[in-house]
Amino acid sequence: MQRYFCSNKENDKYILSKEQSHHIINVMRMNLGDFIEIVDNEKVYKCEIIKVPEVEVIIKQELDAYNEMSKKVTICQALVKENKMDLILQKSVELGMHAFIPLKTKNSIIKINNQEALKKIDRWQRIVIDACRQSKRNLIPKVFDIKSIEELVKEDYDLKLLCTVNELSTTLKNVLQNNKKYDTMIIVIGPEGGFTQEEEKYFLEHGFISVSLGKLVLRTETASLCALSMINYEYER
């Protein structure tokens, strides 16, 4: 069944948005009597379409379907080109990311002003929602405003990790195996050109642990997917 996120509830009925109604009727070619899943406050309901073209559905059954990771993992990604950011968002959602923070760094090729940022964040959030529907998530990861490194280090997490190619860094595998009792984690990933030495030093001075994802040098769009895959293997098996 197709999954949609909705909180517009009246008694045991949900009224879907115009965009959702368009997708149900014109894209999925569904009609009266067909069933969809509605997610509301992380709960999943099997619902029957009772009105079109402005779709309304009625709850038929609450489903036992909770697919979220046991750890809340925030991905902090340095700004990269649009197609790469789209891929990172889509696949990170599929792998269980809890939240996403875009980051300004010295080596970021992409520079975004305040007016552009609002449009970008809105677009990125819509990409996240689409990926949530496809991957059967129970919650929608929030895309936060673009932050500077100085703003980021003030954020509070149980475990703060900085991905690096520094050969002296410990492996992510070792860090995960030795830090099982935490609820929240942030993983910071640099741009195509990597972090400057000054940026890496600043992170480490503010409680971040430098970690390696292995012997090979990964592209920035691969790093978050590799890290989330490791976390899934370590904790979700």
* Domain layout of the chain by residue ranges: 3-63, 72-235
- Give the separation between CA 172 and CA 213, rounded to whole angstroms: 6
Helix (H/G/I), strand (E/B), else coil: 9: strand
| CB 155, CB 114: distance < 8 Å | no
Question: What pLDDT does 27 receive?
Answer: 95
Average pLDDT over residues 229-235: 90
Q: Which residues pair with 59 in a beta bridge?
A: 47
Residue 34 has pLDDT above 70, yes or no: yes
Q: Check residue 166 and give its pLDDT.
A: 77
Place of tokens 């997708």: 23
The band of 35, judged by pLDDT with boundaries at 50, 70 and 90, is very high
Question: What backbone torsions phi and psi does residue 148 show, to the nearest 5 degrees?
Answer: -90, 165
- Record the tokens describing residue 38, joined without a space: 């509605």
Number of other residues whose CB lies within 10 A of the CB of residue 213:
24
Q: Which residue has the higher pLDDT, 231 or 180?
A: 231
Which tokens sit at 42? 């992380």
One-letter amino acid of 216: L
Q: What is the CATH number of domain 3-63?
A: 2.40.240.20
Q: Report the distance separating Cα 74 and Cα 85, nearest Å.
A: 15
Q: What count of Cα atoms within 13 Å lies in the side-chain half-sphere of residue 28?
A: 20
Domain 72-235: give its CATH code. Answer: 3.40.1280.10
Q: How far apart (Å, rounded) are the C-alpha atoms in residues 172 and 162?
A: 10
Which residues are 142's β-sheet partners?
99
pLDDT score of 94 = 96
Split at pLDDT 50, 70, 90, the class of 237 is low
Q: What's the mean per-residue pLDDT of the chain?
A: 93
Task: Please report, for residues 3, 24, 62, the alpha-carbon distance to residue 65 in angstroms, rounded to integers and kept in the order given.
Answer: 12, 22, 9
Q: What is the pLDDT of residues 101-139, one digit of tens each?
A: 999 999 888 888 878 898 999 999 999 999 999 999 999
- List, in order, residues 6 or more apart from 120 with CB less than 8 Å away: 102, 112, 146
Euclidean distance between CA atoms 212 and 173, whole angstroms: 9
